[in-house]
Amino acid sequence: MRKNYLDNIRWVTVVQVVIFHLIMVFSPLTPGFGFPFREVQYQDAFAYLVYPWFMTILFIVAGISSRIYLDKHTIKDFVISRTRKLLLPVTIGLACFGWMQGALTLQIAGYLEPITESTPIIPYYLYVTICGIGVLWFVILLWSLSMILAVIRRFEKGKLYALTANMHIAIIVLLGVVAWFIGQYFNVTKYPVYRLGLYPFVFFLGYFVFAHEENIKTISKWKYVFIAGAVVLGARYVYEHFGHLYSTMPVMGCKSAMFYGWIMILAIFGSFYSWLNKPNAFCDYMRKRSWGLYIFHYVIISACALVIRKHTAMTEIPCYLVTGGAAFAGSLLLNYIVSRIPFMRWCILGIKKEKVA
C-alpha cells in the first residue's frame, strides 16, 4: 500500500518550490539573477516562509522512501533504480536538456557571450551546460546519499532502526536543535544553499526515524501545537529578517530560521498524516507528475521572465500570472511529451517505458 500522506507531502512541496522560484526570479534579493519590479516587494515574504523547510522536508521524504523501497527490494535493485532515476538526469539528461537552462541563466545574469569564430565550441558547450545544473543540485546530492545508504544498509542489520522506534515527542522536537547545530557546518562557501551538513543528516533521519509510522502517529497527536508554533515562529522569523538575503549565512542558519523550519516540518507531517492520508484523483495525478514538474519548471520560469521583462511592458500582477501559469502548464506538457519519447524519458526523467504516467 502507498503512503498517501507521503506522496501528498512530496507533490505539495514541489508546488511550493515552483512558486518559490517564481517569486525569486522577480525578487530584488537575487541581484543579477532576477528582474525585480521594486526595491521592496512584500510577496517575497513567501520565500522566507518556505525556504527554511521545503528542501529539508524533501530530503526527509527521500529518506523515508528509501527505507520503504529497501524493505521490499535488494540493495542491488536500489542502486540500479536510484542511479537510473537520479544519475541519468544530471549526466546524459543534463547534456541533452541542461544547456537550455544554462543559456537562460547566463543570459539573465548578463554573462552569456556570443559565439565567435575564435570560441572553442566544445568548452563553450560544456560551460553553458554545467551552468544549467540549476534545480538538479538536489538530484546530485540525493544520488550521492543513496549510494552511501546502500553501503550502510549492507552492514547495518536493523539495530539502529529498532532503537529509533516509538520515540518520545520531546526527543523528536529536540532533533531540531541537532539539525540547527549541524546546519552551521559543511556549507559550501561560495554557494551556501548546498548544505552538506544539514541535508545528509535529515535524509538519514527520514530513513531511521520518520520511516517509523508510530513516530509519525506521535507527531500527528501534537499537530495543533506544531501548527500554532509554526505560525508564531514563522511570523517572528519574517519580521526579524525581511530584507536580508534568506539563502546565505547568517540568516540561513540562524536559530529563528532553523527552529521555525523544524516545527513547520513536524506540523506538515502531523497534519498530512491526519488529514491527507487518503487517495483521490487529483492527488494521484499530481503524484505521478511531480517529478517532471520539478525537473522542467525552472527553465520555463527563466525563459518567461527573460522575455517578459526585457521585451514587454507587462505589469507586475499579469507578469506573475503569466509566468506562473506557463511554469505549471508548460512543465506538465513537457513531462507528457518527454515521457513518451523513449530515449528522452530515459535520460531526462530516468524512467522506463512501463513507468510512464
- Which range, of 13-22, 110-119, 230-239, 241-250, averages the lowest pLDDT? 110-119
Nearest to 172 by CA among 181, 180, 162, 164: 164
Task: Give mean pLDDT, residues 308-315.
Answer: 90
Tell me: pLDDT of 32 over 80: no
What tens digit of pLDDT does each residue of 97-142 get?
A: 888 998 898 888 777 777 655 678 888 888 889 988 989 999 999 9
Task: Give mean pLDDT, residues 261-290.
Answer: 96
Question: Would you place residue 87 in the very low, low, confident or very high pLDDT band (cuts 50, 70, 90)?
Answer: very high
Report pLDDT for 228: 98
d(CA 120, CA 27): 35
Report pLDDT for 157: 81
Report pLDDT for 29: 85
- Counting the structural domains of the chain, the total is 1
What tens digit of pLDDT does each residue of 185-218 get?
A: 888 766 667 889 999 999 999 999 999 999 999 9
Share above pLDDT 70 across residues of the chain, in percent, rounded to a whole number: 95
Question: Would you place residue 35 in the very low, low, confident or very high pLDDT band (cuts 50, 70, 90)?
Answer: confident
d(CA 83, CA 77): 10
Q: Which domain holds residue 208?
A: 4-355
Tell me: pLDDT of 259 over 60: yes
What does the mean pLDDT of the chain come to? 92
Report pLDDT for 299: 95
Nearest to 323 by CA among 352, 351, 300, 345: 300
C-alpha cell at 123: 568548452
Report pLDDT for 120: 84
Full-model pTM: 0.95
Report pLDDT for 294: 97
Report pLDDT for 116: 59
What tens digit of pLDDT does each residue of 155-167 get?
A: 988 889 999 999 9
- Which range, of 28-32, 256-260, 270-274, averages the lowest pLDDT? 28-32
Report pLDDT for 110: 77
Report pLDDT for 156: 87
Task: Give mean pLDDT, residues 52-78.
Answer: 96
- CA-CA-CA-CA torsion sign (36, 37, 38, 42): negative
Task: Give mean pLDDT, residues 346-357.
Answer: 75
Tell me: pLDDT of 355 over 70: no
